[in-house]
Structure 1
Amino acid sequence: MSRRLSGRAWRRIPPPPANAPLFGALAQFERDLIRERTNAGLKAAEARGRRGGRKPVVTPDKLARAKTHLAAGLTVREAAARVKVGKTALYQALGEPAGQVEG
């Protein structure tokens, strides 16, 4: 047993249980099972044609309309406001860096 100083008095601290490594191994096994089940579920969903994540905000129709606004001379901010999307989302859909200025 080890001893630890607590204030002015010494107190004895019991050693960890002998089965502590067993608990760690069981926890790791459980994490591996969860990871395996999650990946199996994602693959099954993909096979059914489902994909996770959010739906894209900028649809192909909105992107086409935004491109016509940009060609007409509007800024990205104005074009994004007209098609009702954020300017960052529009920059991302256009494939341009967000800081680039149209002109």
Structure 2
Amino acid sequence: MTKETMSSLKQLNRLALTETEEAEVLDFLATLEKGEEKMAQTDTEGLKILVHLSEVSNLFNVLREDKAQKVYTREELQEHAPEAYDGYWQVPRLVD
């Protein structure tokens, strides 16, 4: 990725990056690109497609024992909420 592309992405995504942060992102993306190139060169001819890891191993889902647990009411949970009104949690407005 070039600095021009990075500048365009910063503008599109409204990012405010310092020169140091921008350099770190560019280095990280270059590392990813090298890994992608290496994977593209790997010979995968004749390999079976793996849909799920359990197909080739003895892994399986381990579920916990089904025990009854205390069920909290909305009122009990809202006792600890900073603000609640009419049965709903109130949170700060994100968009004006």
Please say whether Structure 1 and Structure 2 have the same fold, judged by a TM-score greater than 0.5. Answer: no
Q: So what's the TM-score if we normalise by structure 2?
A: 0.30
Larger Rg: 1
Identify the structure with bigger relative contact order (alpha carbons < 8 Å, sequence gap 6+): 1
- Structure showing the higher strand proportion among its residues: 1
Q: So what's the TM-score if we normalise by structure 1?
A: 0.28
